[in-house]
Amino acid sequence: MDFAWTRQQLILKDSIIAFAREQLNDRVTERDRSGEFSREGWRRSADFGLLGLTIPVEYGGQGYDPLTAMLALEALGYGCTDNGLVFVINNHLWSCAISILDFGSEAQKQRFLPPMCRGELIGGQVLTEPESGSAAFTMQTSAVRDGDAYVLNGTKTFLTSAPIGDVFIVYARTSESRAVQEGFSAFIVTRDLPGLEMTKAWDKSGLRTAPMGQLTFTNCRVPVDCLLGAEGMGHGIFQSTIEWERGFFFASQVGVMERLLDQSVEYAQQRQQGGKPIGSFQSISNKLVDMKLRIELAKLLVYKIGWLKREGRMAFLEASLAKLFISESHVQTSLDAIQIHGARGYMTEYGIERELRDAVAGTLYAGTSEIQREVIASLLGL
């Protein structure tokens, strides 16, 4: 693999960083406190072309290859300090749009992808239930065929973008008797359907500008033409989607870690104690070295996934490795950044304590750290 980026890729990276700094970082501390999603930031991101990175041009996207998209997502994480907005964008792309692109019929792609790329529809994924988290495919939500519709009943929770979303990939059980691989199906569900209700909005520790909610389906009739793929394909669709989620969401976190490193190096050079810059103390510089090392390793992991996906190859193991390493590195990097900034790191107005709250979420969603270790162990034959 050639590790050099092309001039166009580097121009794209710089332009996204400049765009994010100028247009997306408005009132982040204040909006974090009030838990406010930035509609304006979302609209600007759509206008800039961030909501359809790998979606082909014919469906309104940018048509970037997956490796270029990785660099774009990293740049977004580096430039944008509103981690919640970045999370909603990643969720829209890798938990919803990509599934429609990969498994949707031509009519479904034409119907949903162009407005999703334009930012007119916000996408999300609806999988987790109160009693089925890590063991997602023990879910109880049922979908029973009745004429020209599937009738959905059940409750789904901890759903990113549920309070603001318009279109969701919903997973439900379509057979009681079939094995997991054939007993579940995925549906493209629009917000306006009768019988679909938001029954709870969650307040949470981090990613507070990314709203989260709970959806309840009560005899909700989902038209047959909203079935994604064929009946019984839900588990397979999820296995494919999770590869994109575990790989691509976390490219943005590599960018965040690099932003924290640059900020911390600058602070360590400027802040003087006892007549010396704190960066001259080895216990501080060692933290910065470890931060740098984690970032470089994280980049190798995500670039490899981008390359594998560009070649049309599977990246299941690589995506779990990246998700595990980057989410835990992100937490450690945020802790290091707080420590280097001393009391200022812990004060809300400097924005660094927020980074830690945002980072912790990464060890939970898209499969917890414990689940990633289980997956990797089983791929090692254990």
Interface ranges with ligand FAD (CB under 6 A): 91, 124-128, 133-134, 158-160, 207, 361, 364-365, 368, 370-371, 374
The residue among 17 and 220 lying less far from ligand FAD, judged by its C-beta, is: 220
Nearest residue (CB) to ligand FAD, 126 versus 278: 126
Supply the minimum distance, in Å, between the C-beta of residue 91 and ligand FAD. 6
**Min dist. Cβ of residue 31 to ligand FAD (A):** 17
By C-beta, is 207 or 356 nearer to ligand FAD?
A: 207
Task: Tell me the closest approach of the beta carbon of residue 235 to ligand FAD, in angstroms.
Answer: 14
Minimum separation from the CB atom of position 346 to ligand FAD (A): 22
Q: Which of residues 68 and 160 has its CB atom nearest to ligand FAD in the complex?
A: 160
Q: Rounded CA gap, 338 and 341, in Å?
A: 5
**Shortest Cβ 151–ligand FAD spacing (Å):** 21
Q: Which long-range contacts (CB under 8 A, 24 or more apart) does 285-292 make?
A: 287/336, 287/339, 287/340, 288/261, 288/264, 288/336, 288/340, 290/332, 290/336, 291/257, 291/260, 291/261, 291/264, 291/333, 291/336, 291/337, 292/261
Q: Which is nearer to ligand FAD, 14 or 370 (CB)?
A: 370
245 part of the active site: yes
Catalytic residue among 74, 245, 258, 355: 245
Cα separation, 211 vs 123, whole angstroms = 13
In angstroms, give the least distance from the CB of 225 to ligand FAD. 23
Nearer to ligand FAD, 64 or 168 (CB): 168
Q: How far is the CB of 20 from ligand FAD (least distance, A)?
A: 21
Please, which residue, 67 or 326, has the CB nearer to ligand FAD? 326
Which residues, 6 or more positions from 122, have their beta carbon under 8 angstroms from its beta carbon?
Answer: 42, 88, 92, 161, 164, 165, 166, 167
Which residues are catalytic, by number? 245
